[in-house]
Amino acid sequence: MQSFLAIGSQILILFALIGVGAFAYKIKLWKENGVSQMTTLVLYLVIPMMTIESMQIPFEVRLLKGAGIAALFAVITHLIAIVLSRLLLPATPERKKRMYSYAVISGNIGFFGFPLISLSVGPIGVFYASIYLLVFHIFVWTYGVYLLSKDLEGNNMSLRRALINPGVISVFIALFLFISGIRLPGVLMTVVSSIASLNRPLGMMVVGAEIAAVSLGAFWKDKHLYIAVFMRLLLIPAIVLPLLLLLTNDRTLSVGAFVPVLVPTATNIVMFASRFKQDTLAASRALAVTTLFSMLTVPLWLWLLDLLRPA
């Protein structure tokens, strides 16, 4: 019971920050342009600094093996999500199915997952989650872009984009520093850590502002949305948790690899829907509803993981 309350308090902190961001947007302390700029700041600067900070630790073969397990688990999880979304989501309307398929596949790892992992198990957990995020970026910029743009002229799927973006580049830099044993000088490390510490408040407030900007409409009538939310927050975690328990008995690795599976849909879903002329209302609904329901599902899954992999 104590572990459940501890997990619940961590989730409550994150959702309080989401509430602050939503409130700030509603009273116009933030405008749409400001939220967009803050999103760019977090994606291009804060999350990369958090990734680098998490890997400024002494090299251990154990950690490198754990990174390999996290990568393998991420690949399998994404493949399962792709197959299930193709099989279980209703076929029509096609544009809505594409957005809900993307919602099932993509998770809000950097904004939501990193702060939660940092609160739960510290920087080594973020280290493993960064490896998961690397795999996520590759799937998003290959299969995800193909899914949303396959009917458009000049299909935008690109392995180059999958590998050349701030999230992936920062992981490669951090891995190089980790494996080579290079440590950043004290002053530079303080700067990196200071920027990284912004991820929890800014990331959560950006999520809140994104949700506050959403027009949900009569979302409760959308049966396709229920299926996508069920798959993202319940079905896929239930399928992959036994696999994770088979792959490792390390609790920190388990949390670092499992939290990215639990988090709600990635905030970039709305941007991608607009960019590729897909159903932006479906994208907005998926972002808002998965985020709200994750307040219930994430603590339950982490409590179960805590029972199966106690500290």
3-state secondary structure of 257: helix
Sequence letter at residue 123: P
Q: Residues of the chain with pLDDT > 70: what percent?
A: 92
| Mean residue pLDDT across the chain | 87
Of these ranges, 8-12, 14-18, 33-37, 247-251, the one predicted with the greatest mean pLDDT is: 247-251
Average pLDDT for 275-302: 88
The structure tokens listed for 49 are 């600094």
At residue 304, does pLDDT exceed 90?
Answer: yes
Structural domains of the chain in order of their starting residue, each with its CATH number: 2-306 (1.20.1530)
pLDDT at residue 218 tops 70: no
| Mean pLDDT lowest among 55-59, 164-168, 190-194, 246-250 | 164-168
- Tens digit of each residue's pLDDT (9 = 90 or more) over 125-184: 999 999 999 899 889 888 888 888 876 655 555 667 667 777 788 888 999 999 999 999
pLDDT (0 to 100) of residue 176: 93
Helix (H) or strand (E) holding 239: helix 236-247
pTM summary value: 0.87
**Structure confidence by residue, pLDDT tens digits, 254-284:** 999 999 999 999 988 887 887 788 888 888 8
Provide the pLDDT confidence category of residue 105 given band limits of 50, 70 and 90: very high
Instruction: Name which of 223, 218, 222, 225 is nearest 265 in CA terms.
Output: 225
Report the candidate in 75, 208, 80, 45 with the shortest Cα–Cα distance to residue 137. Answer: 75
**Residue 28's Cα: distance from chain center in Å?**
27
